[in-house]
Amino acid sequence: MADAPDQVSITLDGRVVEVPRGALLIAAAIEAGTYIPHFCWHPRMKPVGMCRMCLVEIDTPRGKMLTTSCTTPVADGMVVETSSPVVKKAQEGVIEFLLINHPLDCPVCDKGGECPLQDQTLAYGPGDGRFVEEKRHYPKPIPISDLVALDRERCILCARCTRFSEEISGDPLIEFVDRGNHVEVNTFPNHPFTSYFSGNTVQICPVGALTARPYRFRARPWDLEAVEAVSTVDSVHSKVSLEASMNEIVRISGVDCDPTNQGWLSDKDRFVYEHLLADDRVVVPLIANGDGFREASWGEAVGLAASRLADLGGAVAGLGGARSTNEDAYVFSRFLRGVVGTPHLDAQLDDGLAPEFAAAVEPRALIDDLDDADAILLWGPDLKEELPVLYLRVRKAATAGAKLVVVHPRRTGLDDVAAHTIRYRPGEGPALLRRLAAGEGDLAEARDALGAGKVVALVGRPGLAEPAELAEAVAAFALTLDDARILPLVRRGNVFGALDMGLAPTLLPGRVSVDDAERRRALAARWGSLPDGVGMGATDILEAAASGRIGALVLLGVDPVRDHPRPDLARRALERAFVVALDLFVTDSTRHADVVLPVAGLGEIQGTVTNLEGRVQKLNRVVPPPGQARPAWSILDDLAAALGSELEADAVEKIFEELATLAPAYEGLTWDRFDWAEGRDGVVVPLEGVTPPLRHVPSDPGLAVVSERPALHLARVLYDDGVLVRHCPSLASLAPEAAAHLHPRDASVLAVREGDRVRLEGVGVVELPVVLDPTLAEGTVYVPFNLAETAALGAVPSVRIDVVREAGS
């Protein structure tokens, strides 16, 4: 009998092992080193016992019985046989049965070579079947969405995909249809499988029934060369394997990293690699030439950039770095401050949170804190649209019983699992917050839900038209609760890493305030010099550039014309200033550049990145950069050399070593640490015993209420017209239609119906069709941010609406 209270002992094939109490037999056996074949069971989903492959013999009072080990919890003293003659016969029978209808078209099946059915037929099958009848036939494959194809002949009806859709992602658009011998998995007619998470079903399908259309017939699994990395599509940093064939990334698969993605990815994480192969990727240095560009040598391009930067002295500013690695960001920070000598730099575009808040909010939550939270407050972006894998984790916690309170101007993806949903008109957040804090009226229950036990507050900007300080105020409220931790929400790739590397006017590398004299001395000693004072943030930089006070801008993977709340200002700034852009593409912003330098992208470089928890993980390299593209740090090193300085950036390991010495929050990290054992799950900084100088405890900034109508809710959608999605053919077509969403009552006041056109005037003017949205707060217009048709609108607290009347009506 087991000694530890949370352990039981079972006899597994004659061997006595200690296993966790309450575990499923299949999980316990596999953990103990005895593999039990299975198809339908998946460690991240509830068991169903559908495929019967995991049958084992268990001693019962009535003798030995065949039982599905995926539905049987372990019990103390249980005696289990996993490979007795009876079990083997059962396994052979199950395989023979599963193959009755399976087409055995393995030579042309994407799954062939990594197929559980293939592998387990070899290992556990009878080697022959007695069924000679005609197999089931269906048209194959049929597209069930733009991304996924379904081959019903191959399906073994394990229900992994249908369970994933219902249990994990909460959008059950594929289901079993019909009964008995006619059962098939399918969608509803004209309701395609438009889940943001559909690619996961392809990955967990134990046969080739679901295949990813972008990957079909691109490679054989044994040809793939794979490395581990994390997805830098958003700041959750889901663990992935980057898989390449013939020096091209052809697939991204999710890797189960317990503290972050637990194996799942959004389809954007999964298919974003397509942009790396885009025809119009910049692969040689470009120099502006009239309306376009001409190709140039590295020497000429870097020389031109350096000479103009040198001429301008310190009247230079840097934007970007939030999509780069920590090493790129660190070198960018050192280049701007130490070489160019400017304090004006910003990784964000006034579309995120205050740098101190995002980088150093205390006490900061881990994603794992969601799992044992009693309540979760989400006052920020619609996670399904902005941080989809975090949406899955919140969904899981809420389904398991955490009381979720969602505060947002309209319906979010999590409303169906929320205990309380609160709507408000953007601008009136501060007033709502005060009422929520006081538990007034209809908010009393939500306030009570937050009142007891452990609370995780997920705090960000619900929309771009709302101020960043709102998050500060919400966090300050959360800290008045008994036991609350804050998880700051900003979407962009490595924005937290960039802030940690000092890419903000108020921060130095390692979560250090820019006026920390001691740290300044240490940095200046290494960097040679450090400019005085607090520099300008993104908006001030753009204004200064537009008015000529800043003469040059260095852009590192940033698109202010599309991402800044004031696209017109960004355009004027870029038109007027001398612009050096390090980018993958000629974007709406970089087309105003004077020099465009091609950088290497995901899977083409090594480096570390830091997620929204402060978890540092490593990106590995699996393909060479195309053409003459290079890592940004190496380009910046050349630029520095041309300016007569030395950045010492000649190897990524060396840069990491330097930043781990100079950036206090990263103290104690080593480059190899992320490759082994627990380090593979990443390392949350600061490490135990390391105290970064900056600890930001939010306090209520006393925000004013803005109640102009109609308020603008301008929020991001997963598939927008941003530069990455636009260059992924499989994703670009998934962007939603641009529209002005109105509450039906507001629409009736304006006398417009669904489909009528309205003209919205914000920073710029856009004309959009009306969509009625009864879930939207009244007095609000919701417009998806950064679609081709909405990009000019800009983020303003309220807009002017004019109805476009057809002539003569």
Partner 1 sequence: MSSPIAHWDPEYQRRAATIVERYPDVRSAVMPLLYLASLHHGHVTEEAMEEVAALTGLTAAQVQSVASFYTMYKRERVGRYLVSVCTSISCFLRGADEVLAAVEGATGVVDGETDDEGLFTVEHVECIGACGGAPALQVNYEFVEGVTPAKAAELCRWLRDARPEVVLGDEMQLLFGGRPSFDPGAPEPEGAIAPVPAFGPYGSARPGTGGGR
Binding residues vs partner 1 (CB under 8 A): 166, 171-179, 186-191, 416, 744, 774
Structure tokens belonging to residue 601: 């992208």
> Which amino acid would we find at residue 230?
V
Between residues 172 and 528, which has the closer beta carbon with respect to partner 1?
A: 172
Between residues 201 and 325, which has the closer beta carbon with respect to partner 1?
A: 201
Between residues 174 and 612, which has the closer beta carbon with respect to partner 1?
A: 174
Measured between alpha carbons, how far is 606 from 619 in angstroms, rounded to an integer? Answer: 5
Between residues 170 and 531, which has the closer beta carbon with respect to partner 1?
A: 170
DSSP per-residue codes, 702-732: -PPP---SSEEEEE--SS-SSHHHHT-HHHH
Measured between alpha carbons, how far is 20 from 4 in angstroms, rounded to an integer? Answer: 9
Measured between alpha carbons, how far is 487 from 456 in angstroms, rounded to an integer? Answer: 7
Between residues 184 and 371, which has the closer beta carbon with respect to partner 1?
A: 184
> At closest approach, how far in Å is the CB of 343 from partner 1?
53
How many CA atoms lie less than 13 Å away from 528 in the CB half-sphere?
14
> At closest approach, how far in Å is the CB of 240 from partner 1?
29
Between residues 166 and 789, which has the closer beta carbon with respect to partner 1?
A: 166
Q: What are phi and psi of 237, to 5 degrees?
A: 60, 60
Q: Is the Cα torsion angle 283, 285, 290, 291 positive or negative in sign? A: positive
Between residues 178 and 518, which has the closer beta carbon with respect to partner 1?
A: 178
DSSP code at position 436: H
> At closest approach, how far in Å is the CB of 772 from partner 1?
8
Measured between alpha carbons, how far is 785 from 221 in angstroms, rounded to an integer? Answer: 38
> At closest approach, how far in Å is the CB of 262 from partner 1?
24
> At closest approach, how far in Å is the CB of 770 from partner 1?
15
> At closest approach, how far in Å is the CB of 397 from partner 1?
21
Q: Find all residues with CB under 8 Å of 691, minimum gap 6, and list them.
A: 664
> At closest approach, how far in Å is the CB of 437 from partner 1?
32
Distances from the Cα of 362 to the Cα of 447, 502, 694, angstroms: 22, 18, 10
DSSP per-residue codes, 307-318: HHHHHTTT-EEE
Which residue in 48, 51, 91, 94 sits closest to 72, CA to CA? 48
Provide the 3-class DSSP secondary structure of residue 201.
helix
Between residues 363 and 755, which has the closer beta carbon with respect to partner 1?
A: 755
Measured between alpha carbons, how far is 569 from 546 in angstroms, rounded to an integer? Answer: 7
Is residue 235 within 8 A of residue 493, CB to CB? The reply is yes
Between residues 679 and 744, which has the closer beta carbon with respect to partner 1?
A: 744
> At closest approach, how far in Å is the CB of 187 from partner 1?
6
Measured between alpha carbons, how far is 278 from 283 in angstroms, rounded to an integer? Answer: 11
> At closest approach, how far in Å is the CB of 143 from partner 1?
16
- Length of the chain, please? 809
Between residues 84 and 775, which has the closer beta carbon with respect to partner 1?
A: 775
Q: How far is CA 9 from the centre of its chain?
A: 41
Is residue 590 within 8 A of residue 558, CB to CB? The reply is no
> At closest approach, how far in Å is the CB of 178 from partner 1?
5
